[in-house]
Amino acid sequence: MESCPLCSNQSQLHSEPLFPAWMNASENPTLNICGTCQTRFERNAAFTMEFFKERAFLKKTNEPDYYDTFYGSELHLKRSRIALLYFLVGLNLKQHLIGSFDRLAHDFNGRFIEENDYHLWAAFNPEHIETISAPVRTRIEGLNATECCILGYHFFLITDQRPLPAKSLIQQLEQEQDLTIMHAGIEKDIYEDFEAFMEEFNSRKK
């Protein structure tokens, strides 16, 4: 028996890839975790098949109207947000299992993600449709976060314990009925695109 690096339980350890096997990532290192944690990652992998490949949560795509707006977007069923959070938190934990994200590990193991104030923002860029990149540290809205790209989707996960700013654009978007994913412009600063997208998005609601 060995100690699982994620949950610390004493158990026989099993090999687990960083990315779900179906993604066929060119670089996909493995780590050793217990069977219980592996089962949870298998559920995450099943969700990613539904989200990315089968598009089971996609409600509709809004194409940009160049006479009115520049940005398109995707609307996904809101219930996909929690599953997406668990996938992203799990991916971050796999990448940083050497003590970097103790709070994320505690909440992931205890299934407290939906009870705590976790935030994500996503943008889709078709130029990166074949990209699969591991999470890296970044900052967004003045807070610590991580960024990764999965098959064209850039995901930003807030890892900071501090609350989002009062005028947070991410928080504004989270209030919507659907999970809204912006279509990014071509090779611009994604957050600058997000600010412009939200300006358009809010003006269309008035």
Of 43-52, 148-157, 160-169, 187-196, least confident by mean pLDDT is 187-196
Spatial contact of 84 and 180, defined as CB atoms under 8 Å apart? no
Answer whether residue 182 shows pLDDT above 60: yes
How many residues does the structure list for the chain?
A: 206
pTM of the model: 0.87
Rg over alpha carbons for the chain, rounded to the nearest Å, is 17
Question: What is the predicted pLDDT for the residue at 98?
Answer: 45
Domain boundaries, the chain: 57-205
Check pLDDT > 60 for residue 23. Answer: yes
Residues 6 or more apart in contact with residue 62 via CB below 8 angstroms: 72, 73, 74, 75
Contact between 74 and 183 (Cβ < 8 Å): yes
Residues with Cβ within 8 Å of 110's Cβ and at least 6 positions away in sequence, in order, are: none
* Euclidean distance between CA atoms 134 and 130, whole angstroms: 13
Q: Which residues is 179 bridged to in the sheet? A: 76
Q: Which residue has the tokens 């940083």?
A: 96
Summarize pLDDT for 78-133 with one digit per residue, the tens. Answer: 999 999 999 999 998 888 764 556 677 777 777 667 666 789 999 999 889 999 99
- The per-residue pLDDT for range 29-81, each reduced to its tens digit, is 998 999 999 999 999 999 999 999 999 999 999 988 777 778 899 999 999 99
CA angle 69–173–163, rounded 5-degree value: 140
Name the β-bridge partners of 146. Answer: 137, 157
**C-alpha separations of 136 from 47, 65, 158, 186 in Å:** 22, 34, 12, 21
